[in-house]
Structures are given as C-alpha cells and as structure tokens.
Structure 1
C-alpha cells in the first residue's frame, strides 16, 4: 500500500497528530542544527578575540627578544602555553616551553602571515591528546627594523566539548519534546473534533426529519458551527420536501380516486341488465372521458416527477420570436383542445412582440418552454377567452413571456396559491382540470433559473407570465424542487 493511501485510511485525529509531529520534528531538527552551528560560531569568535589580544601582547614584547635585554624567554615568563616568534624564513626566535622544537606554521602559512593576519588550524599540538585541535593566529610585526611573525594559539577543545554536550542534550530532549508535542496535537485534534462527534450522536438520534429535532450549533461561530447550521438547514429543507411529497401523494390519490370511481360506476351501469344501446354508448363515452382525464393527470404527474428528479436541461439559445412561432404552430394548429364541442369558434391567438424583443435570446430547453407557453395558451382558451396574446418583453437582463387573455381572470383569493399543485378554482373544478398546469409552468420556469407569476388585468382577463434570464445556466444544472 502506498504511503498516501495508508495515510488517508488513518482517523482524522491521528492524521492531524502525525502531521503535527512531522512538522515539529522538522522544526526541532532545524532549530537544533542552527543552535549547534550558532554555538560553535559564537565560541570560536570568542577564541579569535582572545587570540588577537594575546597576539598584540606578544608583539609588544617581541623587542625584548631582538635586543637581548632579557636572558630568559619573555614568553616563558608570561606563561604563554602556545606561542612563537618566528622570522619570515621560519626560524624560531622565541617560543613557549613546549613549542621550541618545531615552527607552528608551514612555509605557505609563513608567506601568508608575512602579508597580514592569518588564521590556521593545527592538530595534535598537545601530545597527550591526539584529538586536540589548536586555532592559530599569525601576525607580522617589526621590531628594531627586523621583520618577525608572532604566532599564538588556543585549543578548540572547549568549543567541541560544548557542541558535543549540546548535541547530546538535543538527541535526548528532542524526542521527549516531540512526544509531548505529538500528544498535545492529538489532544487538540480530539478536542476540535468533539463537537463533530456530538453532532454525529445527535444526528444518529434523528430517525425522521418530521421529528423536528435539530443539531446543536456550537456558540463559537467557527467552521463546525457553520456546518451544524448548514445541516440544520438541510434537515429543514428535507422536512419541507417530505411534507410536500406527502401532500403531493395525498392529492394525487384523491384526484385519481374520483375518475376511477366514475369509470367504475359507468361500467357497472353499462353492465346493468336491460340497458339500452343509447345508455351503453353514453356510459362508454363517459368512461372514455374520465379515462382521458386520467391520462392527462398521469402525463402531468410524470412531467412533475421528472422535473423534481432533476434531469439535466437540454439548454440551447432560443430566439423569442422563434419560440412564439413554435407555440403558434403547436397550439393554433391543434385548435382549442379541451373546449366544449358547442363552442362557436376557437379563440384567436395573436402574437405580439414588444420593441426590441425580436433580438432577445433566452437559454433553455426549447421543448419544455414551448410546452409551458402552450399550456398557458390552452388554459386561457379553456377559461373561455376569445382572444389570447403572447407578449415578449425585455427588462433588466431578463426575458418575460406574458400570456394575456380577455377572459374572466382569476378569483382574487385563488391568486396566492394559483401555482400550487392541485390548486384549482371552483370553475376549473367544474371543467374537470387537474390543477397541475400552472404547477408545471412554475417548475419549468424555476428549472431555467427563472420565476412564474400571475395577475388579473385591470381591463379584465388574466396575465400569466414566466421570467427567464437571458444567460445560459451552468452545465449540468438541475431544476430545483418546486
């Protein structure tokens, strides 16, 4: 198993703690290395300062060596442990007791020291410690006209000892600090996830959205609180959707019960002994009419079900003028469907476009929009209108399609619930409508990101419209539940 896959399988708190431990280990390693280097540099800088001071002191007494004013070695009298006074050729003029046999500088180092201060390293000056390293400083001086080179040295053992102790301390204390940091990270992750665990337990107790139970929202106002609020909103939407679905099923059952009962009654009447041919024909005609009503109801329910299931719209650019032409072809060519046979003539459908509407382009499903506008025209015709006008308007970046008629309009108490499913005015009930036409209009309009509305015209009649954006919906947009 790859490390990434294994890491993804770990619980969140372990992943947080492991990430925290890895970051802390990296920081501790970098900090330890930096501290180790900084300590060595600081101690070596102190040694260099001491060497410069000693070199100045030895240079001050170099004249005593060259003029022979002292029978003893000035370096021995000062207690210098690592010091020499050399000629540019490398001859030892004076030296501390243990440094009298061999010059401290090589020939190349002598040449560099003759030009200015030179630092060098020399191992194993002390015979008792082969690992000892001495830091040397060579400085050119002039005494009584003679060029000399003063060399002083100091052991680097204190620096190495201090660094070794620091390394041991880091190797022992680092893992302890890392362990404590990991435990702290695990505890912090556990504490941060505790509200989510409480939300999980609360969610497990919610058996149904109708219970009215909601998750507790933490007071911190952080991401967890926003998650709880979002889940509560989702539960509220599910509760509302469940309520609508129950009402929808109840209404559909009620609407289908009546025509089924009528069909059954007509068939029983037809099977009655002694029924005449005319009575049989009337019973069969009535049953066929109720069957047609059931078919329309089933088709409308299928449209609403498919819309609620969220199919992807076949969105294409549609010119309003072309849309109105299609409506005219599908509605006017079909006459006046659903109107009584004794009607004198079907209503005349007049298509009128507002100024500038010819160039309006809406983005939507052409088949559904044609059906919606066609349904509105048929509804107006079924309501007894003698003239129906489809009016296209443009306002604030939206296209409005209004279906205007000269009928009796809507009853004012009915208008607020005109687009609800199975909502029907009394006269519509008398005509046997399903009450789903305007609900389908609203669902399709909302699926396109628009709205639907209805109002009575001041001069009489109704005005039903859909408002569509003149921009395409994003790819894969699903219609919302109405």
Structure 2
C-alpha cells in the first residue's frame, strides 16, 4: 500500500478514536454538570422544607397507599416533574406535594435519611427521578423530607448529544482522513520529483545532480544528502575508469613488446643466440605482467574491503634485515650503501609477507633514484606509549627527492615522479599505492616528504603491540 494511503488511513483511524474519546468525555461531563445542578436544586428545595417544618406545627398524616418494590412509588400526578414528601420515621406520609402516593423512601433508605442526607434514584410510573432525603425537626419529632426531580431532561440531553456525535463523527473523521491524504500528497510530491530525477541519472551522466529546494526542511536535507552520495559515486566511478584506463595502458606496453619479441622469434633465419635473447626478453615481460596483475589484484581487494592480511606477532627488525639483504646485490651494482638501524626487540602484530612487500617497494624506489655512491638509510623506531604507541619504519635516500608537485599525489595509483625514467626502469606507478594500502590495512598510515638535508623519505607508521611498554625511540 502506498505511503500516502497508509498515512490517510492512520490519520482517519486516529481522528475517529479522538472524536470518540472526546464525545464520551463531553457526554460524561455534560451529564455530571447537569446532575450537579439538579443536586443543587434538590438541596435548596430540601433546605427550604426543613426551614418551613422547623417553624410550623406538625402536619396531620396524609392518606397514602403503600406499595412494595425497591423504593418504587406510584403517583396519581403523572404530569408533575418535581415531588416532595414529608415522612415520619415510621414511613407514614405526613405531607405530599400532589395527590396521594406511597412513601418515596422506606426501610433502610428511610432510616439512613433520618440520620443524615441520603441521595438515591427512584422510578415513578416508569420515569426516573433523582431523590434526596434529609432529616428535619417538626416540633418535638423527627421527620424526613424527601424531594425529587425528574432526570428526563438529563437523559434526553445525553441521548441527543450521543446522536449528534454518532451522526457527525464518521463524516468528520473521513474529512480529516481526506485532508491527510491531500496533505501527504503535497508533502511527498517533492520526494517523487527527487525520485524521478534520481532514476534518470545514469553512469553516463555522472555530473547530474538533484535540485535542492530552498525550503530548508527535511526534503532539502534529503536532496543535499543524495547529492553528496552522487558526488562520492562520481568520484569512485572516475577513479575506477581512470584505474581501468591506466591499467590498460600499463598492460599494453609489455604485451606489445612481448608480441614483437615473439614475432621476431618466428622469423626464419634467426640464430640460436637471437632466439635465446628473444625468449629471455619475453620471460622478463611476462614477469612484469605477472607483477602488475598481482599489484592490481591487491589494490582491487583493498578497495573492496576484503581482508588480505594474515597478521601474527612478529619482530619487524627481522623483516627489514631480510629485505636489506635481498636488495644488497642490486645496491652494490649501483654502488649504493644500505644502512639498517633501529630497535631489534620491537614487536608488532602484522603480516610479515605484506610488510616485506611494502619494504621491498620502498627500497626499489630508493635504489632507482639514489645516485652512485649514495646511502639509503632504513630505520625502525617507536613513538608514544601504551595503546597510542606506533612503530615507525623509515626508508630514506639521498637522491634528488620528490618533486614538490608530486608529494600531494605520491600515493595515488599510476603516479610517477619521473614518468619517462620510471617506465624505462620498469616502474608501474603502483609501488607507493601498495605501500599505503598495506599500511591502512594494518590500521596505520604512510607519509612521504623531503627531509632537511636532501633526498626523499617515506615513513610507515603502524600500531605497536600494546603490551610493550619500553622507552620510545626516534625513528
């Protein structure tokens, strides 16, 4: 069922319950008010009779006919709405307001009235009367004054009031429900416009946005929120398209080279040495394709939030030492010195393989840009204490450093400080992006800068093991 209809039905039901409750309350209060006014009238009449009897001689008994039946009495004056009797304590009628009738109070009711005020209801010739009996003194004896008034007006008013509410209540509730239907339609009309506009936006129209109304209400807030979501989706789609385009560009170069090598190898008359060189070049291009595919897969898993770590307690100094030993041969070929320093007892909960991958990428970048005779410093330290402690892994070279315009985008994919040299050296522009993804997966961060004294520096800051409370070290 549409929301508009649900709101209208709920509002109609609520209005019906409200009108019914108000009708019952009004009817009860009206009857209570009229009965209170009637009681005041009876009290005034009774007081007048009490005062009259106190100042007059005892009246003779009036003729009466006694009748049985729960305080009922019959009268020969059906047209009278008010009744008054003066009774002796034994139940004899001493005075009567009309023709002779039986006592209006007898038995327990009469005895209670002789002791104090007694209010009750009696039926006289099929008509309900509200009665009041009070004691009075007439000479040297105690009598009971009974006054009564018909409740016909009260009952008629209650019946008329109930009829009015029963007649006017349902149409009023239906009218309120219809008004709620129209109001809900007017309130939801801007939402429907937003829905239609949102349905028209496709992946080919990523710059389209919803029009934000100037009402500064919930609809405007909804439109603003939707535009914010569209902005995020547009940025994600732009990154995805850029990623696919860059990946295609990176894959095209080694694939083209591989194809050319294989085509040359197929040509007749090639020597054995030429064939071996072609196969070796094809193998190198294949290795590059494998590395690129693995890097792209890792970044894609990181983007999707998939866990790619296998963390366990470890000593990062051992990982750094292994990475330095592995890069030593290449560093010697470039006449570059690798220096490792830091806390050998520092422990982390991390994935050693992914941490090694990040360090290898940093060392590869540092070796690519370090001049012959240069030094690459690899450091390990710890900052902070307890749960705020972080392990800092730092790789610094003494080359030309990062270009200033490159620093803000250093960790973005397919970004290179020197595109011409990087492609020639086999770089894909994914190394630092992978370093950042690995750092983020561990709950840390990666920072690149140009420190004083020249060169480039990349710092990995990872949460340290909380149980370790040793002194902090500078990394």
The verdict on a shared fold, with TM-score over 0.5 as the criterion, is yes
1:168-225 deviation per Cα after TM superposition (whole angstroms, max 9, x unaligned): 0111111011001111111121111111101012112223354522111122222221
Alpha-carbon distance in 2 for matches of 1:64, 1:286: 140
| Alignment correspondent of 2:452 | 458
Contact 2:340–2:377 (8 Å) recurs in 1: yes
Q: Given the alignment of the two structures, is residue 222 of structure 1 paired with residue 217 of structure 2, yes or no?
A: yes
Alpha-carbon distance in 2 for matches of 1:184, 1:398: 63
Alpha-carbon distance in 1 for matches of 2:331, 2:413: 25
Alpha-carbon distance in 1 for matches of 2:224, 2:364: 45
Q: CA deviation at 1:266?
A: 2.0
Q: Given the alignment of the two structures, is residue 436 of structure 1 paired with residue 427 of structure 2, yes or no?
A: no
* CA shift in 2, pair 1:217/1:345, >3 Å: closer
| Alignment correspondent of 1:308 | 303
Contact 2:31–2:154 (8 Å) recurs in 1: yes
Moved more, 260-269 or 37-46: 260-269
| Alignment correspondent of 1:187 | 182
| Alignment correspondent of 1:425 | 417
Alpha-carbon distance in 2 for matches of 1:367, 1:25: 71
Contact 1:65–1:93 (8 Å) recurs in 2: no
Contact 2:82–2:150 (8 Å) recurs in 1: no
| Alignment correspondent of 1:53 | 44
1:312-352 deviation per Cα after TM superposition (whole angstroms, max 9, x unaligned): 47696x76xx351452365246x129948845687343334
* CA shift in 2, pair 1:390/1:11, >3 Å: farther
| Alignment correspondent of 2:283 | 288
State the Cα RMSD in Å.
Answer: 3.2
| Alignment correspondent of 1:88 | 89
Alpha-carbon distance in 2 for matches of 1:161, 1:457: 99
Q: Given the alignment of the two structures, is residue 144 of structure 1 paired with residue 139 of structure 2, yes or no?
A: yes
Unaligned stretches of 5+ residues in structure 2? 64-76, 467-475
Alpha-carbon distance in 1 for matches of 2:307, 2:130: 81
Q: Given the alignment of the two structures, is residue 390 of structure 1 paired with residue 379 of structure 2, yes or no?
A: yes
Contact 2:444–2:462 (8 Å) recurs in 1: yes
Moved more, 365-374 or 209-218: 365-374
Contact 2:61–2:93 (8 Å) recurs in 1: no
What is the DSSP-based 3-state SS (H/G/I as helix, E as strand, rest coil) of the residue aligned with 2:394?
strand
* CA shift in 2, pair 1:194/1:141, >3 Å: same
Moved more, 62-71 or 377-386: 62-71
What is the DSSP-based 3-state SS (H/G/I as helix, E as strand, rest coil) of the residue aligned with 2:358?
helix
Alpha-carbon distance in 2 for matches of 1:88, 1:273: 146
1:128-155 deviation per Cα after TM superposition (whole angstroms, max 9, x unaligned): xx2x211111111112221111110001
| Alignment correspondent of 1:166 | 161
Unaligned stretches of 5+ residues in structure 1? 1-9, 473-482
Q: Given the alignment of the two structures, is residue 107 of structure 1 paired with residue 102 of structure 2, yes or no?
A: no
What is the DSSP-based 3-state SS (H/G/I as helix, E as strand, rest coil) of the residue aligned with 2:145?
strand
1:229-248 deviation per Cα after TM superposition (whole angstroms, max 9, x unaligned): 11111111222222222221
Alpha-carbon distance in 1 for matches of 2:465, 2:5: 48
1:5-48 deviation per Cα after TM superposition (whole angstroms, max 9, x unaligned): xxxxx111111112212222221121111111111100000000
Question: What is the total number of aligned residue pairs between the two structures?
Answer: 443
* CA shift in 2, pair 1:313/1:107, >3 Å: farther
1:261-287 deviation per Cα after TM superposition (whole angstroms, max 9, x unaligned): 212222233233332222222222222
Give the structure-1-normalised TM-score: 0.82
Contact 1:392–1:400 (8 Å) recurs in 2: yes
Alpha-carbon distance in 1 for matches of 2:446, 2:302: 15
Contact 1:32–1:170 (8 Å) recurs in 2: yes
Q: Given the alignment of the two structures, is residue 24 of structure 1 paired with residue 15 of structure 2, yes or no?
A: yes
What is the DSSP-based 3-state SS (H/G/I as helix, E as strand, rest coil) of the residue aligned with 1:347?
strand
